[in-house]
């Protein structure tokens, strides 16, 4: 990545942080920060393709991504 960056602090539930750590340990991402940047790009890209603006909902208790049993977010039908 090049250019200027803004640092954003985001509190995460312990379970979600542990999942990120598992991805880092499995060499899927080099760091938590890289995984979170990837996730942010996915959200921005999906919203750019969406026909309607993002509807902000309270995240599911288990923080599962949409479509993986956690509810929340956009459905596959949208």
Delimit the domains of the chain by residue range: 14-49
Task: Supply the pLDDT for residue 37.
Answer: 96
Task: Supply the pLDDT for residue 56.
Answer: 67
Query: How would residue 74 be classed by pLDDT, with cut points 50, 70 and 90?
Result: very low
Task: Supply the pLDDT for residue 54.
Answer: 66
Token pair 């880092």 is found at 24
63 close to 17: Cβ distance less than 8 angstroms: no
CA distance 73 to 56: 8
| Tens-place pLDDT, residues 9-61 | 999 999 999 999 999 999 999 999 999 999 999 999 988 887 766 676 666 66
Token pair 């938590």 is found at 32
- Find all residues with CB under 8 Å of 75, minimum gap 6, and list them: 66, 67
Q: Which residue has the higher pLDDT, 7 or 72?
A: 7
């Amino acid at each position: 990545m090049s250019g200027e960056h803004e640092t954003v602090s985001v509190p995460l539930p312990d379970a979600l942080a542990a999942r990120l750590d598992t991805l880092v340990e499995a060499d899927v991402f080099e760091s938590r920060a890289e995984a979170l940047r990837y996730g942010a790009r996915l959200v921005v890209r999906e919203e750019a393709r969406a026909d309607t603006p993002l509807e902000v909902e309270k995240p599911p208790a288990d923080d599962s991504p949409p479509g993986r049993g956690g509810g929340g977010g956009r459905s596959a039908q949208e």
